């Protein structure tokens, strides 16, 4: 019985010792050989004994180690090789799909979820050293340890092989970048050569057909009277010069006819005088009466008829003073008229017309008097007319920022009618220089950029000055030489990567300063 009690007490003592050891282990007291611990939220923090994470305060958990296959699949971004993953997905930096990359089997004999030195897919066997961590939204904000920003996003590690020396580019905020052939293919980067050629520019605009102002005539009466008959009754009627327009009863014209007849009788009496002065006076009196009627626009035939018949006419017929179309009519039969009336008839000659076209402010320097233009009409595409710049207006429309140019065109068959729209093409003189595709240029607002391929996957940003544009091409005044390859597709991806590299390099340079 005593032996049984002693054995029972020994077992209870062993159980108490084991419980105390377990309690001490749970409280982070002693380390267990061969077991490592890491934070569930920050796997980069590893400890050889239990405790709390110094970053977020969470309890550390044991790392479960297991054997890994001989080849561990890894996925990497072609534009950001530092971004790796153990499963397919998209790059958190640029959104491109991750591509598969194989690591050295010898380097992954045991799969450890702890953040052992990451393997660079470009050199699978080489461990990568983390210099610091940067904010995913602002590369200039860095930290020596992993952490999260105010939005809860993890800081991105910056490796030693990613930090480039200060860029030789003369453009602030941009750096030359290096891509692998696979990265170039996946990003869709395409290049085209810069060539030296002559670039002519075609300016296309829409003009409006208007009447030639030098061919517009207004019809007025020079005396007061009443319209007894209208020979031109509607707007749009075609009239010829000398054609009757209206008959007018005017007491003033009737009195002038009577004066003409009395002057004619006096001239006949004075013609028999022996004094030359008397005969000349009779002739001058008759001529003055005739001139008075002519100044009232009385036709010469009407004056001759009055002298021939010796009887004044009640109604005087007035004739058209121009050939053309009646484009305005402000008179009706029986209406009283006087010289103060502004518009009785407007007669417009449409055998020649103007076309007013608007050109943008930046195109004004390309316009010259006498430049040839080609005209087409929407309602008759087969009709093509040729004209020249007749006048460039000296003022600019402040609302549309355009300058108006006048073209003079003949109008056979009256196919050009005032108010019509017409398509105008103007060929400007060609300029010779270095020409690149227009898609190669990145407009930032302050400057114009292109990316030039230096070979071997290296791309350099260049600031350029651009001249004229035409047919998808641009004339480069400086920044690119003939024969160089410029990026014409995916250049915005290169621009983003170039800015990111420059920001990382600047942040790294700041870290190295004392």
Residue 269 burial class via C-beta count within 10 angstroms: exposed 0-12, middle 13-18, buried 19 and up:
exposed
- Residues of the chain within CATH 2.40.420.20 domain(s) are 177-198+431-512
Its sign, for the CA torsion 102, 106, 108, 109, is positive
Contact 480, 487 (CB under 8 A): no
The pLDDT score that the predictor gives to residue 271 is 84
The pLDDT score that the predictor gives to residue 461 is 92
CATH of domain 202-212+349-427: 2.40.30.170
Structure tokens at 489: 């597709």
Residue 90 burial class via C-beta count within 10 angstroms: exposed 0-12, middle 13-18, buried 19 and up:
middle
3-state secondary structure of 219: strand
Query: Distance between CA 409 and CA 416 in Å, rounded?
Result: 9
With a CB cutoff of 8 Å and minimum separation 6, the contacts of 483 are 193, 194, 195
3-state secondary structure of 268: helix
The pLDDT score that the predictor gives to residue 363 is 85
Give me the tens of pLDDT residue by residue for the chain, a chain 514 residues long.
Answer: 444 444 445 444 444 434 434 434 444 445 555 578 877 777 777 877 888 877 777 788 887 654 444 445 577 777 766 677 777 777 777 667 777 764 444 444 333 333 444 444 444 445 667 777 878 777 667 787 888 888 888 888 877 665 555 445 568 888 888 888 888 888 899 999 999 988 877 888 999 999 999 999 999 889 999 999 999 989 999 999 999 999 999 999 999 999 999 998 888 888 888 888 888 888 899 899 999 999 998 999 999 999 899 899 999 999 998 999 999 998 999 999 998 887 789 999 999 999 999 999 888 888 889 888 888 888 888 888 888 899 999 999 999 999 999 999 888 888 899 999 999 988 876 678 899 999 999 998 888 999 999 888 889 999 999 887 877 888 898 889 999 999 999 888 888 888 888 887 777 666 554 4
The pLDDT score that the predictor gives to residue 348 is 93
Query: Distance between CA 502 and CA 260 in Å, rounded?
Result: 100
- Supply the DSSP symbol for 479: S
Put residue 241 in one of left, alpha, beta given phi > 0 → left and psi -120 to 50 → alpha: beta
User: What's the Rg (C-alpha) of the chain?
Assistant: 49
Put residue 438 in one of left, alpha, beta given phi > 0 → left and psi -120 to 50 → alpha: alpha
Helices 276-295 + 300-309 axis angle, to 10: 130
Backbone φ and ψ of 190, nearest 5°: -125, 145
Q: What is the DSSP string of 74-111?
A: EEE-SS-TT-EESS--B-TTT-PBPEEEEPPGGGGSEE
Query: Distance between CA 408 and CA 371 in Å, rounded?
Result: 11
Residue by residue, what is the 3-state secondary structure of 54-72? CCCCCECEECCCEECCCCC
Contact 350, 414 (CB under 8 A): yes
The pLDDT score that the predictor gives to residue 319 is 93
With a CB cutoff of 8 Å and minimum separation 6, the contacts of 341 are 220, 221, 330, 331
For 177-198+431-512, CATH number out of 3.30.420.40, 2.40.420.20, 2.60.40.10, 3.90.226.10 equals: 2.40.420.20
The pLDDT score that the predictor gives to residue 486 is 94
- Residues of the chain within CATH 2.40.30.170 domain(s) are 202-212+349-427
The pLDDT score that the predictor gives to residue 163 is 56
């Amino acid at each position: 019985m005593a032996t049984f009690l002693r054995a029972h007490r020994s077992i209870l003592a062993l159980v108490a010792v084991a419980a105390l050891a377990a309690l001490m282990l749970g409280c982070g007291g002693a380390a267990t050989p061969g077991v490592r611990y890491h934070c569930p939220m920050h796997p980069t923090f590893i400890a050889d004994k239990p405790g709390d994470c110094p970053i977020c305060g969470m309890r550390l958990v044991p790392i479960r180690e297991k054997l890994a296959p001989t080849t561990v699949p890894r996925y990497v971004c072609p534009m950001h090789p530092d971004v790796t993953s153990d499963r397919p997905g998209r790059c958190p930096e640029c959104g491109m799909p991750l591509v598969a990359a194989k690591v050295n089997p010898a380097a992954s004999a045991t799969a450890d979820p702890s953040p052992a030195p990451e393997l660079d897919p470009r050199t699978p066997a080489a461990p990568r050293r983390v210099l610091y961590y940067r904010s995913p939204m602002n590369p200039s904000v860095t930290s020596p340890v992993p952490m999260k920003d105010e939005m809860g996003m993890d800081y991105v590690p910056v490796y030693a092989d990613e930090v480039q020396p200060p860029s030789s580019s003369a453009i602030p905020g941009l750096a030359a970048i290096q891509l692998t052939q696979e990265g170039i293919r996946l990003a869709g980067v395409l290049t085209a050569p810069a060539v030296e050629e002559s670039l002519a520019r075609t300016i296309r605009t829409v003009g409006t057909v208007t009447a030639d102002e030098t061919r517009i005539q207004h019809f007025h009466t020079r005396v007061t009277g009443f319209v007894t008959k209208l020979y031109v009754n509607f707007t749009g009627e075609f009239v010829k010069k000398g054609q009757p327009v209206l008959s007018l009863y005017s007491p003033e014209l009737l009195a002038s006819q009577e004066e003409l007849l009395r002057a004619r009788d006096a001239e006949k009496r004075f013609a028999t005088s022996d004094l030359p002065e008397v005969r000349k006076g009779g002739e001058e009196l008759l001529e003055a009466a005739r001139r008075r009627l002519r100044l009232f626009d009385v036709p010469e035939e009407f004056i001759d008829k009055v002298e021939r018949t010796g009887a004044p006419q009640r109604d005087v017929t007035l004739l058209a003073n121009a050939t053309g179309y009646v484009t305005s009519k402000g008179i009706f039969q029986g209406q009283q008229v006087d010289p103060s009336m502004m518009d009785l008839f407007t007669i417009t000659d449409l055998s020649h017309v103007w076309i007013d076209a608007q050109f943008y402010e930046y195109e004004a320097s390309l316009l010259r008097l006498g430049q040839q233009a080609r005209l087409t009409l929407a309602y008759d595409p087969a009709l093509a007319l040729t004209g020249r710049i007749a006048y460039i207006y000296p003022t600019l429309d402040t609302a549309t920022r355009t300058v108006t140019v006048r073209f003079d065109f003949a109008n056979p068959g009256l196919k050009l009618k005032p108010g019509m729209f017409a398509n105008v093409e103007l060929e400007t003189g060609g300029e010779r220089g270095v020409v690149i595709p227009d898609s190669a240029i990145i407009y930032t607002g302050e400057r114009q950029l292109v990316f030039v391929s230096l070979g071997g996957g290296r791309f350099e940003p260049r600031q350029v000055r651009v001249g004229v544009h035409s047919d998808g091409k641009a004339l480069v005044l400086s920044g690119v030489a003939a024969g160089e390859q410029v990026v014409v597709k995916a250049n915005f991806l290169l621009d983003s990567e170039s800015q990111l590299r420059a920001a990382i390099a600047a942040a790294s340079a700041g870290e190295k300063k004392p």
